[in-house]
C-alpha cells in the first residue's frame, strides 16, 4: 500500500465501476497532485545534477567510492555496508524505481522500461529488501518518464499528459501495483511526467533529468548522469542483453539479473540471441543517424547525444560475434569482482 507523508493514500476514484486503466490513471494523478509530492518534486528539481565521471586517471585511486550502475531493464539490490552509491541514467520514457528499507538501508534500484515487467519486477526488487519483514517501512523514489506527447496540442489543457505515449502507462502501472501490494511503500519522490518535463529549443518535450543516484547509507537521492567509463562493468554486453532478452523466453516479464548482493560481484546472467536479431541489426546499421533515432528510440527528440554511437557499438559487436555462445560459453554467466580501488575485474 502507498503512504504519503506517513498516511495511507486513499484513492478517491477506486470504484469497481471504473476500468483498471481508469483507476490506475486516477490514482497516479491523485498522488502526483498531493501537496507533499509537489513540494518534493520542486525540491528535487532544484538539486544540482551529479555528474559521475570515471576515467583512466582514476584507475590508481584507492579511496574511490563504491558504485553499482544499472542499465535499462536491469535491477540491483545493494547492501550499504558494501556499496556507497547505486544509480542509473539514460532514462527518457523509462523510470528509475528505488525501494529502500528504512531500518536496514538495503536499497533496490531498477530501470524499468515496460508495464509488462512491473509485477514480477517489483517482486524481484523486494527479494532481499524486506528481510522476511512484511511490515518493513519502505521509502520509494521514482525518477524518469516525461510527457512524451505534444502537450501543446493535447486536449483538456491539464497539467499531465493523457494516457498516450510510453511514459504514462508505465507510471500508472508502477503506482497501481505499489498500491495493491501488502507492503508499506512511502512515496518520497515522484519526479515523473509533468514534474520531469521541459521544452527544448525546438519546443519538443524532454526530461529535465534522465537519471538518479542514491546514497545507500543516508537514503538521499540526487539527479545524476554518468560517463561511459562509469557505466561498468561489461557495458556493451549488458546493453546487448536489453535487446536480446526480448527474444529469450527465460527473461519474459522479468528484470535482468546483474548484481549479486551478498558477494558484491556483478554476475551477468547469460542470454541468447537469434539470427533474426543479427539480420535486423545488419539492416538498421545501414541507416543514417537520423533514421536510427526515428526507428530505434521511443523518444527520438529526447535522446542523449551518444544514443546513436552506443547503438552502433552494440551492433558492431553483434555482427562480429553473431553466435551468442561466444559471449556466454556453456551458457555460463560473466562474473566481475570489485578490486581494492573500486574498479571491476573479470574473474
**HEC assignment per residue over 273-337:** CCHHHHHHHHHHCCCCHHHHHHHHCCCHHHCCCCHHHHHHHHHHHHHHCCCHHHCCHHHCCEEEE
Residue linked to cell 527528440: 301
Residue-wise pLDDT tens digits, 24-54: 789 999 999 999 999 999 999 999 999 999 7
CA distances from 115 to 169, 320, 321 (A): 7, 33, 31
Q: Which of 159, 196, 163, 157 minimizes the C-alpha distance to 302?
A: 196
Share of the chain above pLDDT 90, in %: 75
Q: What structural domains does the chain harbor?
A: 2-346 (3.30.1330.200)
* Mode of pairing for the β-strands spanning 50-52 and 67-69: unpaired
Q: For position 68, what pLDDT does the model report?
A: 97
How far is the C-alpha of 164 from the C-alpha of 154, rounded, in Å?
10
DSSP state of 170: H
- pLDDT band, residue 338 (cuts 50/70/90): very high
10 Å Cβ neighbour count for 217? 13
How far is the C-alpha of 254 from the C-alpha of 63, rounded, in Å?
35
Instruction: State the cell numbers at 271.
Output: 542470454
Q: What is the mean pLDDT of the chain?
A: 89
Residues in the chain: 347
Residue linked to cell 541514467: 89
Q: Which of 310, 226, 321 minimizes the C-alpha distance to 272?
A: 321
Residue 8 has pLDDT above 60, yes or no: yes
Question: Model pTM?
Answer: 0.91
Residue-wise pLDDT tens digits, 88-123: 999 999 999 999 999 999 999 999 999 999 999 999
Q: Which of 304, 341, 346 minimizes the C-alpha distance to 60?
A: 341
| Mean per-residue pLDDT, 297-318 | 93
Residue-wise pLDDT tens digits, 55-97: 645 444 444 799 999 999 999 999 999 999 999 999 999 999 9
Q: For position 64, what pLDDT does the model report?
A: 78
* Mode of pairing for the β-strands spanning 184-193 and 2-4: parallel
Residue 13 has pLDDT above 80, yes or no: no
Q: For position 308, what pLDDT does the model report?
A: 95
The secondary element (H helix, E strand) that includes residue 40 is: helix 35-45
Q: Which of 300, 239, 218, 297 minimizes the C-alpha distance to 88?
A: 239
Q: What are phi and psi of 128, to 5 degrees?
A: -115, 0
| Mean per-residue pLDDT, 3-17 | 77
| Mean per-residue pLDDT, 316-332 | 95
Contacts of 49 (CB under 8 A, 6+ apart): 209, 222, 223, 224, 225
- pLDDT band, residue 252 (cuts 50/70/90): confident
Residue-wise pLDDT tens digits, 151-205: 444 444 444 444 568 999 999 999 999 999 999 999 999 999 999 999 988 888 9
Q: Are 209 and 196 in contact (CB under 8 A)?
A: yes
CA angle 150, 155, 160 (to 5 degrees): 65
Residue 10 has pLDDT above 60, yes or no: yes
Amino acid at each position: 500500500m502507498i503512504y504519503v507523508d506517513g498516511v495511507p493514500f486513499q484513492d478517491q476514484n477506486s470504484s469497481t465501476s471504473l476500468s483498471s486503466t481508469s483507476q490506475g490513471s486516477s490514482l497516479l494523478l491523485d498522488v502526483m497532485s498531493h501537496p507533499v509530492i509537489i513540494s518534493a518534486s520542486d525540491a528535487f528539481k532544484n538539486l544540482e545534477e551529479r555528474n559521475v565521471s570515471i576515467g583512466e586517471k582514476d584507475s590508481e585511486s584507492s579511496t574511490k567510492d563504491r558504485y553499482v550502475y544499472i542499465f535499462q531493464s536491469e535491477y540491483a539490490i545493494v547492501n550499504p555496508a558494501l556499496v556507497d552509491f547505486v544509480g542509473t541514467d539514460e532514462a527518457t520514457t523509462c523510470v528509475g524505481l528505488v525501494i529502500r528499507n528504512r531500518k536496514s538501508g538495503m536499497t533496490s534500484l531498477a530501470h524499468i522500461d515496460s508495464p509488462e515487467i512491473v509485477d514480477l519486477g517489483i517482486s524481484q526488487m523486494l527479494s532481499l529488501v524486506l528481510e522476511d519483514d512484511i511490515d518493513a517501512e519502505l521509502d520509494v523514489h521514482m525518477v524518469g518518464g516525461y510527457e512524451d506527447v505534444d502537450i501543446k496540442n493535447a486536449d483538456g489543457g491539464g497539467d499531465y499528459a493523457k494516457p498516450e505515449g510510453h511514459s504514462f502507462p508505465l507510471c500508472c502501472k508502477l503506482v497501481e501495483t505499489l498500491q495493491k501490494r501488502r507492503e508499506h511503500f512511502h512515496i518520497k519522490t515522484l519526479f515523473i511526467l509533468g514534474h520531469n518535463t521541459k521544452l527544448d529549443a525546438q519546443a519538443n518535450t524532454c526530461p529535465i533529468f534522465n537519471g538518479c543516484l542514491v546514497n545507500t547509507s543516508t537514503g538521499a537521492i540526487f539527479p545524476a548522469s554518468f560517463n561511459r567509463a562509469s557505466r561498468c562493468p561489461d557495458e556493451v554486453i549488458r546493453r546487448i542483453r536489453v535487446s536480446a532478452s526480448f527474444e529469450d523466453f527465460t527473461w519474459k516479464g522479468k528484470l535482468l539479473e546483474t548484481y549479486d548482493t551478498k558477494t558484491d560481484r556483478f554476475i551477468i546472467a547469460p542470454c541468447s540471441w537469434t539470427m533474426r536479431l543479427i539480420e535486423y541489426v545488419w539492416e538498421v546499421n545501414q541507416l543514417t543517424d537520423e533514421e536510427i533515432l526515428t526507428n530505434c528510440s521511443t523518444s527520438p527528440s529526447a535522446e542523449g547525444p551518444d544514443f546513436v554511437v552506443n547503438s552502433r557499438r552494440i551492433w558492431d559487436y553483434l555482427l562480429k560475434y553473431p553466435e551468442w555462445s561466444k559471449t556466454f560459453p556453456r551458457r555460463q554467466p560473466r562474473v566481475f569482482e570489485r578490486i581494492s580501488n573500486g574498479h571491476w575485474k573479470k574473474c
